[in-house]
Chain A
Amino acid sequence: EIVMTQSPATLSVFSGERVTLSCRASQSISSNLAWYQQKPGQAPRLLIYGASTRATGIPVRFSGSGSGTEFTLAISSLQSEDFAIYYCHQYSNWPRTFGQGTKVEIK
């Protein structure tokens, strides 16, 4: 099973700041990585797939990068609606696995 490790667990930031979230795979997954955003009481929402392609309707302030084992999700200027938990997800191998999440909270 591929283990996905996200860091940090929690990120405290001000609105307007740029943030970067990291996700590491225990073995190479090429670009078979997605990022999701989840707000309390809601289902996860797809942000990025193929490591760097924004899903339909996702603002350009969200960007993804990386390949192999190291991946990054960046939010260029944090808006109030961006405070949430972010998960990475590998779909290279079965079983599919998720990172444990990074919580982005207001400082």
Chain B
Amino acid sequence: EVQLVESGGGLVQPGGSLRLSCAASGFTFSSYEMNWVRQSPGKGLEWLSYISSGGGTIYYADSVKGRFTISRDNAESSLSLQMNSLRADDTGVYFCARGWRWLDPWGQGTLVTVSS
């Protein structure tokens, strides 16, 4: 079964840092592009970042560019999102999702709360 499991969320103060992880199983992780997508409380979906299968191509949304860094470890079938200089409006559920066109599947998400 193809599965993505996020971890690393939690409560962090404004200006702080957090590192999210996404563990992949059930497919050849190194062959697939990956993404991070955020859903703020009561809001819709916001694409944040993309990384190619080999890690050589990366894109970010303007809202996180310069603050967030996406990376992957194909040997460990793992995707990461390093989040620095966190702000209150970064609060939300963070999903990892597979694909460079449509996104399928998605993980269950991990909640990040930025508050003092």
How far apart are the CA atoms of A96 and B60 in the complex, in Å?
A: 10
Residues in A15-57 with C-beta less than 8 Å from chain B: 32, 34, 36, 42-46, 49-50, 55
Q: Which residues of B contact A49 (CB under 8 A)?
A: 101-102, 104
In the complex, the number of residue pairs spanning A and B with C-beta atoms less than 8 Å apart equals 56
Q: Which residue of A lies closest to B65 (CB)?
A: A95
- Selected A-B contacts with CB under 8 Å, 24 pairs: A34-B101, A34-B103, A36-B45, A36-B103, A43-B95, A43-B105, A43-B108, A44-B45, A44-B95, A44-B106, A45-B105, A46-B104, A46-B105, A49-B101, A49-B104, A55-B102, A87-B45, A89-B102, A94-B59, A95-B62, A96-B47, A98-B44, A98-B45, A101-B44
Residues of B whose CB lies within 8 Å of any CB of A are: 35, 44-47, 50, 59-62, 95, 100-109
